[in-house]
Amino acid sequence: MPKNHRDTTSYNFDVAATQYDEVFTHSNIGVLQRYRVYHWLETIDFFSLPKKIFEINCGTGYDAEQFHNRGHGVVATDGSAEMIKLAKAKRNPKVDFFQLQFSDVTTQQKFENSQVLFSNFGGLNCIDSKELKIFAQDIAKKQSVGDLLIWVIMPKKSLMESIYFLLTFQFSKVFRRNTSKPTPVNLHDTAIPTFYHSPKELKRILKKDYIIELIKPVALFLPPSYMEDFFKQKKSMLRFLNTLESIFGNISAGAAWSDHFILIAKKQ
């Protein structure tokens, strides 16, 4: 059984692994949110030249395969053995998948040989602020000038989540993210201990070693993925929210109020 919160998180993702693509990757909301991530990658011309990408929290490997298909070299890792098992079974065998915990990233020669450290959709929300700061400092010691961090993280506030809890009279949850304590987040009936991090906090953690290239909302108006069942019956509403996202989702200040935000930083 799990001995600490990291072990608990890995164990819980093991339990959720078989349903992960169904409940998120290929869900209507998950597809639209990922499109926004790739929109911002296109904005910085990320795909123009082949890069060596080291991914953490790769889940079932969807992003790793997409990067490989676009000509990048990809090493993809996850703390969950079941996620890696599924990734190896479902994705292109040329992608290098293996199980790895946060604490061991900087011990990997494959990481030192990479140019980009990528983490999508809240992988870094599995650790608290203190651990995140230590992790960032350790990463900075290994990266070279010009190397990139591309992290997609859940902030301490979410406009759509707060509206949802207000409309459903769950008033105690309206600002549930605004805490330093772990918040249980449901993933297919599995509770994942989650820590939220604001853009301001990330800027403070990274300012010594990195230049912030971009911080933008990912799902300012798009809802969190746990609302998928609700929006299955209201696809026109989801399309409307996606239109709002495309119009107003470029406002940097909205990163602090979106379901996720993307941070791109360059080692200086």
CA dihedral 36, 38, 182, 128 (to 10 degrees): -140
Residue 70 belongs to a domain? yes
**Residue 165 domain-assigned (yes or no):** no
The predicted model scores a pTM of 0.93
pLDDT at site 190:
72
pLDDT for residue 124: 97
The answer to the question of residue 250 being in a domain is yes
> 145 in a domain, yes or no?
yes
Higher pLDDT residue, 187 or 106?
A: 106
Task: Kindly report the backbone phi and psi dihedral angles of residue 148, in degrees, each rounded to the nearest multiple of 5, phi listed first.
Answer: -115, 145
173 within some domain: no
Q: Over pLDDT 70: what percentage of the chain?
A: 94
pLDDT recorded at residue 17: 81
Query: 105: domain CATH number?
Result: 3.40.50.150
**Residue 170 counted as domain residue:** no
The pLDDT, as a whole number, for residue 188 is 64
For 157-180, b/e burial (b = at least 16 CB within 10 A) is bbbbbbebbeeeeeeeebebbeee
Chain-centre distance of CA 33, in angstroms?
Answer: 11
> pLDDT at position 23, please?
86
Give the pLDDT confidence score for residue 1 in this predicted structure: 38
In a domain, residue 204? The reply is: yes
Average pLDDT, the chain: 93
Tokens of 192: 């994942």
- The pLDDT value given to residue 185: 84
At 191 the pLDDT is 77
What are 27-74's pLDDT values in tens digits?
999 999 999 999 999 999 999 999 999 999 999 999 999 999 999 999
Shortest CA distance to 114 belongs to which of 174, 159, 83, 73? Answer: 73
**pLDDT at residue 4 greater than cutoff 70:** no
159-180 pLDDT, tens digit each: 999 999 999 999 999 999 999 9
Q: Is 193 in contact with 232 (CB distance < 8 Å)?
A: no
Tell me which of 215 and 233 has the higher pLDDT.
Answer: 215
Burial of 110 (0-12, 13-18, 19+ CB in 10 A): middle
**Residue 177 counted as domain residue:** no
pLDDT band with cut points at 50, 70 and 90 for residue 9: low
pLDDT tens, 218-264? 999 999 999 999 999 999 999 999 999 999 999 999 999 999 999 99
Number of domains in the chain: 1
Which residues form the domain of 189? Answer: 5-156+182-267
